[in-house]
A and B are shown apart, each in its own frame.
Chain A
């Protein structure tokens, strides 16, 4: 079935809500690369076998990463009328006990991580409550999601769906507001209006350089040529950084939706996603998502009945760090050796196959649907004067809490290291924090109160 009208989208949303919040018990295992590398696959299989063997009325589900990678494997249980409960560092043995006790109306509190009583739907600006009827014993004193120090200061826009939806189910993405911004863009906005909106939002490229996204789109739209391309840079190669991996593995449709909106605004009909070879799971999740989007008419001809056509090709890198650079990336897609060229001419004028090409990274594309839905005025209120919105960081190394965080621009390094990161293990002294990968710098203690943004 192709989705063509708003009614069709609403129907998909209904279907999505039914599987996101089913009538019975749903158990989800975080199965992004971080979860799998600590044994989530075995946990998942064990629970599935147990449920089958003991004929338990539980739906066993997979999801992405909720951010606190250190505590993986993470398992959560959602039952109507009760708070959603998240468990950390689950093993197959723990999982079996957890499931059986839950069925007997007892909550195992030993590996309890936090509970959730509602979810933020950032695209629609809505709070989805779980309609709690009673607090099971043992859950009274447990922290809510927003009370956990690791999450307290976070604001999730880019990571809005990660760890909460099954990335293989497009309906769940739609249920939480996905693809409605695309409908709005295609049916209610002119390309120029979209570019204006993105410009006003103040969104700057999340790949690191911080170039204003709307301005880039505008110069590509105005560039001469009938054939234009939009590209997504998913060649995230800086050691220690894995923000994009998490988005692609946990919420691939958000990137696809952003690219379709961008293509419409720029006037492109073909796009490429360049994923690094080291991210096999991200490639797999993207393949599934692209296939679904094609099947339901969100990619291809006459998208959502608007007359606009666009297709996306997935390109797997060959394990070359330099291909994350825009011109090297384009050379690689052309089938050449991925070496950069001097950029006398901007790629927005002459990029892939010498045609106007607009390249943004994963996180930039993923922000677009939210901006279209909530508007530039809302978005530009988040962050600092010149750096708007939020930024995803991976926080790793000798720090107590490691994982993936999303914070408003302008937060200080001290807040990131000490409040979210929980400080240095064993109460040791702070030496330095390295930011921004190999091209970044080492920041000493005296500069810890520096706000984090593009310019300082």
Chain B
């Protein structure tokens, strides 16, 4: 992200230190991760030690220090989805994408993660791709579902 883009975001939150999580989330959603230079810039602008920012960046699951793919897949492994075979969905995705959970494909097309409960337990197993929830998944549905994302 350019410095002026970061400036705009910081101004939007009235330079409040307490808005640090929201500011990092905005960078994350644009860059799909938190580039080191961006964190350094935020640290300097808000006068928050870089170590504190790293602490926040590594604490919250929604933030990542590693570059992520263009499409983010979150497979639910909450209790209800677990009972209904969430693990099998995750396994199939790992095989199809040739990556393990927590990793990103080489072409940066997909990142694969697991989450605990998305609140659609009646429709488990579920996964979220780019914010869109897909319910009643089966292993057979996975290949065609992935094709929808370039």
Contact = CB atoms under 8 A, between A and B. Distances in A.
Contacts of A69: 120-123
Contact of B122 (A238, A280, A403): A403
B59 A338 contact: yes
B20 interface: yes
A239 B116 contact: yes
B9 interface: no
B122 A239 contact: no
B142 interface: no
Contact of B117 (A36, A239, A318): A239
A333 interface: yes
Contacts of A242: 117, 119-121
B17, B25, B61, B78 pick with most chain A CB within 10 angstroms: B78
B117 A37 contact: no
Contacts of B69: none
Interface of A: 33-34, 36-38, 69-70, 72, 236-242, 245-246, 277-280, 315-321, 332-338, 394, 396-398, 402-403, 434, 437-438
A450 B122 CA distance: 24
A279 B63 CA distance: 16
B124 to A, nearest CB: 7
Contact of B21 (A38, A246, A335): A335
Contacts of A394: 121-122
Given A318-B63, A332-B21, 6 more contacts: A318-B25, A319-B61, A335-B18, A335-B21, A398-B83, A402-B121
Given A37-B133, A337-B59, A278 B115 contact: yes
B122 A70 contact: yes
B18, B24, B62, B120 pick with most chain A CB within 10 angstroms: B120
Contact of A34 (B19, B117, B120, B132): B120
Q: What class of interface size applies to chain B in its complex with A? A: 35 or more
22 contacts: A33-B118, A37-B120, A69-B121, A238-B117, A240-B78, A240-B121, A242-B120, A278-B119, A315-B22, A318-B62, A319-B60, A335-B16, A335-B21, A335-B56, A336-B56, A337-B59, A338-B60, A396-B121, A396-B122, A397-B83, A398-B83, A402-B122
Interface in B102-150: 115-124, 126, 131-136
B80 interface: yes
Contact of B135 (A37, A241, A277): A37
A334 B18 CA distance: 5
Given A33-B133, A239-B80, A318-B21, A337 B123 contact: no
A337 B56 contact: yes
Contact of B124 (A279, A321, A396, A437): A396
